[in-house]
Structure 1
């Protein structure tokens, strides 16, 4: 009677389990590559749609760009024709569109009518102020909404949950410009016995430098950041609360409690990580809004960012500047949405299959 014997392993060969797992890893990598390619193609199509929309939509704002850029000043026909030729407005509409798209893909967004400067340079000059203001606000209200949302869901139905959710819904429904004006009246100008504590406009006083300048900017940021945080944190709170409520009935949480884990550990280690997918997606979308800033809030507080620049461009209207800002705002949203889509499979492997 003979017994079956296994052949000795060949030196340098992969072990059996590694050979079995390799095709699975390659398949997962190919699946993720197809997923990335599909999302990138969708983002490219969205960006093309933004270029088309920004070109044709804002031409409805002004039928005579020459009059807009000269503020209606009397001009001879020769002068008007010179300006049209200088800005390419004498060309057919299709040629203007192709030139605009080609320039936008190269980073050339045209020349501003009212500032007589390249649109890209104007945007680059105002972008840091917007990133500072709205970036700070997004980080603060995302963290605040995530923290309050997890605790509201974990204590669902209790008084603290009802109060937290009610306050969030109330502030979310308040227009940001109205809340900003209210804060200016109460804490900027002063109301009754309450003195004015914070500046009401601008980014700095203009007579400081070094550490004093940093403190001055932070002082000017208090009211606009408070306005954005008060209006914006509710969305993160409600999405986090809803996602966590969906996870709280899971069997894995019951198992974790049966193992003797404390309630705070169950929430922190198991429930919250599995409920983060919608919240993370929304946080990245909010980061896309950082480039756009807040037009109304920046206008109320005279913050020298892209939001105020967009308001100035619309008031003329300055078509190249409006178009360029629209492309930047929409492009930032598309980019952040793409990043969120690419991160989702790492948070939940079921995504992208």
Structure 2
């Protein structure tokens, strides 16, 4: 009787256990969905605010874009009026704003005044160069900042910690364009016994090389701008990671891990660092958002043919559709990366969003 009744009792209890285990999972999933819905709604509101800001902010830039398009050539008042009508600049401001929002939400960012080409096509042409430059820099300075920040925090107060922190704070305070100009003077033009080793600007030499030779040429041109971005950018990641890990080092769970006989490196790698990474996730994803935005000053200093240089050219006119389109793309990339970080938080730490 006992052996016959045991399977039946197990069968009766299994649904109960499944239901008991399913309820917390359902509640957790529902809480995550609420968290995700709130973050997505917040991102949508932020994007709407970006559209409003991008339209009205650049309308206060001094200068007449129509006159700038003529490049100082003799132009009659009738011709200027025709150009303003062609680009919709003679319409009321609210009508211009309504047309701009309607087109932007449908993916049409308008037509550039100076290039007479769709803004979306211009951005697509320059985007690969920016992704190559800033993407390489972001990967390098994020990895370097995480590694040095971990080392500095774990040996806080040591000579290495003080040296790393001092160098990071110094480089973080240096303007990127000034550092870029200094590197050009020293390593491109040459100074004293240091010969000019790297090109002064651009993305390629224009020799017509292809394949591996072209890749080496581009890499040669990338050295100084990437070094500039890494030198200025790694400090923030280092300081955030160092601060987060210092907060975790007093935890009782680390003492317990050491009491179990784990080596110091294993305690740091398997316990302390994973718990300290959560604040750094935001920094990493913000840096990924900068991949699209690029660095306007660094790209301008090194004449890099990316979105940063295009933004500088658009501001100098001012080319309102191009400036607005680039601003929306830059801000949109940051909003999307921040949204992804917010959606990942509950997966990394179940306490978030509960």
Show the counterpart of 2:306. Answer: 305
If the length of structure 1 is used for normalisation, what is the TM-score?
0.96
Show the counterpart of 1:227. Answer: 228
Task: Please state whether the residue corresponding to 1:195 is helix, strand or coil.
Answer: coil
Structure 1 residue 16: deviation in Å?
2.6
Judged with a 3 Å threshold, the aligned counterparts in structure 2 of structure 1 residues 8 and 311 are, in CA distance, closer, same or farther, namely same
Could you list the per-position Cα deviations for residues 198-250 of structure 1 after superposition, in whole angstroms to 9, with x for gaps in the alignment?
11100011111111000100010000000000000000000000000000000
Matched, 1:160 2:160: yes
Distance 1:79 1:12 in 2: 87
Structure 1 residue 84: deviation in Å?
1.6
Task: Please state whether the residue corresponding to 1:138 is helix, strand or coil.
Answer: helix
Asked if 2 retains the 8 angstrom alpha-carbon contact of 1:187 and 1:197, the reply is yes
Distance 1:159 1:129 in 2: 40
Distance 2:192 2:296 in 1: 30
Asked if 2 retains the 8 angstrom alpha-carbon contact of 1:62 and 1:68, the reply is no
Task: Please state whether the residue corresponding to 1:249 is helix, strand or coil.
Answer: coil
Distance 1:90 1:182 in 2: 46
Distance 2:249 2:15 in 1: 41
Distance 2:160 2:213 in 1: 40
Structure 1 residue 78: deviation in Å?
2.2
Matched, 1:189 2:220: no
If the length of structure 2 is used for normalisation, what is the TM-score?
0.95
In the alignment of these two chains, the number of paired residues is: 349
Structure 1 residue 17: deviation in Å?
2.2
Distance 2:13 2:102 in 1: 54
Root mean square deviation, CA, Å: 1.6
Judged with a 3 Å threshold, the aligned counterparts in structure 2 of structure 1 residues 128 and 13 are, in CA distance, closer, same or farther, namely farther
Show the counterpart of 1:271. Answer: 272
Structure with the bigger percentage of helix = 2
5+ unaligned residues in a row in structure 1: which ranges?
A: none
Task: Please state whether the residue corresponding to 1:8 is helix, strand or coil.
Answer: helix
Could you list the per-position Cα deviations for residues 118-155 of structure 1 after superposition, in whole angstroms to 9, with x for gaps in the alignment?
11111100000000000100000000000000010000
Instruction: Please show how residues 12-23 of structure 1 align to structure 2 within 5 Å.
Output: 14-23=14-23
Which structure 1 residue ranges, 4+ long, deviate > 6 Å from structure 2? none
Instruction: Please show how residues 31-50 of structure 1 align to structure 2 within 5 Å.
Output: 31-50=31-50
5+ unaligned residues in a row in structure 2: which ranges?
A: none
Show the counterpart of 2:92. Answer: 92
Distance 1:324 1:291 in 2: 13
